[in-house]
Structure 1
Amino acid sequence: MITRVTGKNQITVPAEVAAREGIVPGTRFDWQFTEQEHVIMVRVIPAPGALAASLRGRGRQFRRRGSDPVANLHKEREREERERRGTAS
């Protein structure tokens, strides 16, 4: 796909690329030079909300039936604090 740079150094992202990579207004890009002459690598930086949404629910497979992850975290933090103070029980 070939695009053209405007007078303001702007480039139009082809619709196919935008759809495939989830590029919407406000999407950021990381531009990197490569060792090859005239070759630049462009990496799409996902929006923080999109990244969070893609990770939502990923840990469910590790959750035990009937467990309370928040309560377990509180217990773990309390235990770590006791160990740090030297009052482990």
Structure 2
Amino acid sequence: MITTLTPDLTTAVPAELARQLNLRPGTQLDWEADADGLVIHVKAIEPSREELLKRVRELGRKHKREGVDAIGDLIRERELEHDMRERVLS
């Protein structure tokens, strides 16, 4: 497979290769050339559990709306459902 360097020296991983190697966004690639610079070895490095947790927390913050207590709303919703269930069953 052939890729081309962009002017800012980046290149894309071919989709077929990314699927084959199970590469996902956030996977780091460790590039290394042999002594003559003729062969380039690339090793995929999976993000650590800490890094994955950090990303998940950022996603949560990104979607949090100002002034909204989502957890409190969920608790109140569950309490209402519980009360309705109790009334129906009694």
User: TM-score, normalized by length of structure 2?
Assistant: 0.48
More helix by percentage: 2
